Chain A
Amino acid sequence: MTITLSVAVLLAIVLIFLLSDDPGRTIYYFFAGPFINRYYLGNLLNSAIPLVFAGLGIAVAFSSSAFNLGGEGQVYAGALVTAAVCLALPDTNGFIGGIAAVLAGVITGAVLAGISGYFKMKWNTDLLISSFLISAAVVLIVNFLITGPLDDPASSLLATPKIAEQYRLLRIFKPSKLNISIVFSIVAAIAVYTFMYHTHRGYEMRICGLNPDFARYGGVNVNTYLVLPMILSGALHGLGGGLAVTGTHYMALKEFTFGVGWNGIAVALIAKNHPLGVIPAALFFAYLDAGAKAAMLHSDVTFEIAAIIQSVIFYLVTAQAIFSFVKYRQRVS
């Protein structure tokens, strides 16, 4: 991993020298940019939060061989439903209403992914395809709702109105958007880890995913565990979406979660599906993103160039993760 990372950084520097007129400045902002002030640092940490939730959702699913490719729609729909519940209850107590709203988002995600799991159990449909297709349709429906019935006519943004003050989560690192949901994300990672590796349900779930024949032989009800990992995965995605609304944006914007579902897969891959590994993996991902943004603002690189450099590093690291995963699989079989 160290070698891969050094090669990636080296390659990024080479690219910057090729593409930037002021490489020194670009390199500085690309790698150190996220740390030069509280605002950047806070936003870096904040942008890691939805990645942690999506990464956890994927880790739960993948380590049980439930391939959830619908993270995108689950995050997005979870966010919209949370925003909608908040908007429907403008005067409720912040604590109760907030929990109700986020819970509604969680359930939305769980149901969306659970449908795929149910289809798999009932008709043995392919999880990859059903979860992806459901998500693709859901994204369009949410787009319609945000730009149509739930659009705020008073704002020029393609977004819902802002949620009431009492639902907004505490900002803990002003002026950045970092809020207390970062604590929730760490708690969630620990909870998922505990569930998967320290409870018998988590154990049975993983065994079913790894080898259903062995699970059946050992007296595990395999059918239950076709649906459960998908429900958990969808719930975590929905939670990530809901907290993005109450913690960061205070509204649901059109396509504001764009890419989180896919990036969650990358995060889980780098973390090798280990729930606690998801946190550093998400931070690394968020750091690359923040560095690219800082370099764009403070140096001469354009969005495209920043994206290229970011992808080079990212592909190398992911390739390494996939490679070691495949090698592990080959070794054990």
Chain B
Amino acid sequence: MPSVDMREICKYYPESGVKANDYVDLSVKKTEIHAIVGENGAGKTTLMNILYGLERADSGRICLDGEEVVIRNPRDAVRLGIGMVHQHFKLIRPFTIAENVTLAMEQRKYGVLLDRREAWKATEKVIADFGFDLDPGAKIADLTAGQMQQVEIVKILYRHADVLILDEPTSVLAEQQIRTLFDTLKNLTCLGKTIIIISHKLDEVMSIADRVTVMRKGKSTAVRNTDEVDDKELSRLMIGKGITYGFKRDASVPGEPVLALYNVSVAERTGHRPLLDNVSFSVRAGEIVGLTGVAGNGLEELEEVVNGLRKVDSGRIEHRGLDVTNASSYFLREQGMAYVPSDRLRRGSSLSSSVLENLIITSRRSFLNRGFFRRKAMEKFGREILKHYSIDTDLYVPMGTLSGGSIQKIILSRELSAQSDFIMFSDPTWGLDVASAEYIYSRILECRRSRAAILLISNDLDEVLGLSDRLMVMHRGKVVGVFENDGTLSKETIGEYILGLRNDFKGDAGNDGQATMGRGDGNGGGIDDNVVGGGSSRDCSDLSPE
């Protein structure tokens, strides 16, 4: 009999128009480790939030041990023996382990006083019963990420949970800590606990889980035993078939390299592994270079590095041959580098400012007359942009009152109106409806026609495949694949690189025969550009910036 049985769960977000869960089924057996895999936005976390009572399903049934239950909030879930470890720990850093574990369930003396001894003893008992190695008196702030995660698990066990949900538990852990976590989880199942783990790291899923449910675009698409499936099949199930867009990418001959990165690295503060690891590539005039990967693998960092919002620790960035490494955002904009950020609501716009004030942020100095704004010129500029990009709004409306699509159109129009020779788009269409997305695609292709160099960073594989001339995949801060997108490239192939199943792109010449390697200029910061897999292998000399 299944321990957790979720049937036909639906959850719709009217604000963004997203069907996060669309008749999802999940069946987890007692004392098994069950993995839920899927791309970003497939609906895994929503499903678990519903099970833990953080969100309520629009429809569907949840049964625990065969009995139908209603979970209105996390307190209901805890009462029913369900516990959840979130991706980002919810611990109070200055408190001790015992204080965190017993929080909100404190042992009391005389009804009012906190019984520290009792809290300590109870925590110690849970730690001993389940074989952890933690000191209840240690402060959270002094622990490693792996230990903090153990505290989160102890916290749940203290609340007598039988079903443990772990959301991306390995994303913050180092190799060794991951192994410890897996030992812990196996041990817990032996002690009668049931474990659900959300992940998109297939190798980990294969090594730890007994069964796996695959989710794609809000639906549960398959359930498999891990010993009857290989990771290639799982990745195919996760990624699915490509979709075709209503636009056509006509042929374009790339020109001079406009932006080039040479061995750019960014270290993480805690130092587990670099956020960016020797990243080298170039973007040439008139081409779209797509960059994709799973969240947390360096895309966000690269986005910030290229815009000057994050400093690099080593390596060099050149814009038209000019060294712009660690230059300020202002300088980069002066150089003609435009940027449509993924975080359009915080970084891309100021919601409480007017549309006009949002439009002039990058060109503000061009309206100055002895330090004062020429308001007429500014309004003319704003009106022309609105007209040219057919955005139906007023210049003095606060940005935050507009729809997501309009906000993105305004950001896009601002960045495109600067006539830049390099434009970086990051997730330009997330959360937008199809019409808005098509509009944005047509604008991006227009930039390409006007010979701008375009870097498209996106989690959306279909988007990257549809638009890019060249496509790069990042995994764990490294570029693990570069492909010519000549129409023969399949989504499945890219998927394998994205999920880290294939890693045959190395600085040392092709280790499985597919990779070829080109070397750009010398000076130690040479660029290594490889073309592997999928598409046609090609001569790499024209990938180098020189």
Contact = CB atoms under 8 A, between A and B. Distances in A.
Chain B contact residues (Cβ within 8 angstroms of A): what range? 35 or more
A149 interface: no
Contacts of B398: 328, 331-332
Contacts of A211: 346, 349-353
A91 interface: no
Nearest to B364: A200
A321 B329 CA distance: 37
Given A207-B353, A217-B341, A333 B400 contact: yes
B5 interface: no
Interface string B346-373: 1111111100010011101101100111
A255 B427 CA distance: 58
A74 B366 CA distance: 37
A194 B369 CA distance: 13
A329 B375 CA distance: 26
Contacts of B360: 203
Contacts of A200: 364-365, 367-368, 371, 373
A200 B371 CA distance: 7
Contacts of B365: 200
B351 A332 contact: yes
Nearest to B346: A213
B352 A329 contact: yes
Given A207-B353, A213-B347, A332-B401, A219 B371 contact: no
A199 B357 contact: no
Given A200-B364, A200-B365, A211-B346, A333 B351 contact: yes
B400 A198 contact: no
B333 interface: yes
Given A198-B373, A198-B375, A203 B351 contact: no
B225 interface: no
B291 interface: no
A289 interface: no
A83 to B, nearest CB: 34
Contact of A331 (B329, B361, B400): B400
A210 to B, nearest CB: 5
Of B349, B350, B367, which is in contact with the most chain A CB atoms at under 10 Å from its CB? B350
A215 B309 CA distance: 11
A46 to B, nearest CB: 32
Contact of A217 (B307, B331, B373): B307
A219 B307 CA distance: 10
B374 to A, nearest CB: 9
A201 B347 contact: no
Interface of A: 194, 198-201, 203-204, 206-207, 210-211, 213-221, 328-329, 331-333
Given A204-B364, A220-B330, A332-B352, A214 B373 contact: no
A210 B353 contact: yes
Contact of A219 (B343, B362, B375, B401): B362
Given A207-B361, A211-B350, 9 more contacts: A199-B371, A200-B367, A207-B353, A207-B357, A211-B346, A214-B350, A217-B329, A332-B352, A333-B352
Contacts of B348: 214, 217
22 contacts: A198-B372, A199-B372, A200-B364, A200-B368, A203-B357, A207-B353, A210-B353, A211-B351, A211-B352, A214-B346, A214-B347, A214-B348, A214-B350, A215-B350, A218-B329, A219-B328, A219-B331, A219-B332, A219-B334, A221-B330, A331-B401, A332-B352
Interface of B: 307, 309, 328-334, 339, 341, 343, 346-353, 357, 360-362, 364-365, 367-368, 371-373, 375, 398-401
A214 B349 contact: yes
A328 B349 CA distance: 17
Contacts of A218: 329, 333, 361-362, 364
A200 B363 CA distance: 11
A203 B400 contact: no
Given A199-B371, A206-B353, A211-B350, A217 B309 contact: yes
A333 B343 CA distance: 14
A328 to B, nearest CB: 8
B371 A201 contact: yes
A216 B372 contact: no
A211 B339 CA distance: 17
A102 to B, nearest CB: 24
Nearest to B367: A200
Nearest to A218: B361
Contacts of B346: 211, 213-214
Given A211-B350, A214-B348, A329-B352, A203 B373 contact: yes
Nearest to B360: A203
A207 B349 CA distance: 10
Contacts of B351: 211, 332-333
A224 to B, nearest CB: 12
Contacts of A213: 343, 346-347
Nearest to B373: A198
Nearest to B349: A214
A219 B372 contact: no
A207 to B, nearest CB: 6
A333 B350 CA distance: 10
Contacts of A203: 357, 360, 364, 373
Nearest to A208: B350
A172 B142 CA distance: 69
Contacts of A199: 371-373
A204 B362 CA distance: 11
A216 B307 CA distance: 10
| Pairs A-B, 8 closest by C-beta atoms | A332-B400, A219-B330, A218-B361, A211-B350, A219-B329, A214-B350, A332-B352, A332-B351
Nearest to B371: A199
Nearest to A217: B347
Contacts of B333: 218-219
Contact of B329 (A207, A210, A216, A332): A216
Nearest to B402: A332
Contacts of B341: 217
Given A210-B352, A329-B352, A333-B400, A216 B361 contact: no
A161 to B, nearest CB: 42
A95 to B, nearest CB: 27
A214 B361 contact: yes
Of A199, A206, A210, A213, which is in contact with the most chain B CB atoms at under 10 Å from its CB? A213
Contacts of A331: 398, 400-401
Contacts of B353: 206-207, 210-211
A98 B1 CA distance: 90
Contacts of A332: 351-352, 398-401
Nearest to A197: B373
Nearest to B374: A198
Contacts of A198: 372-373, 375
Contacts of B347: 213-214, 217
A218 B399 CA distance: 16
A328 B399 CA distance: 12
Nearest to B332: A219
A238 to B, nearest CB: 24
A194 B370 CA distance: 13
B327 to A, nearest CB: 10
A210 B373 contact: no
Nearest to A330: B400
B319 to A, nearest CB: 15
Contacts of A219: 328-334, 362
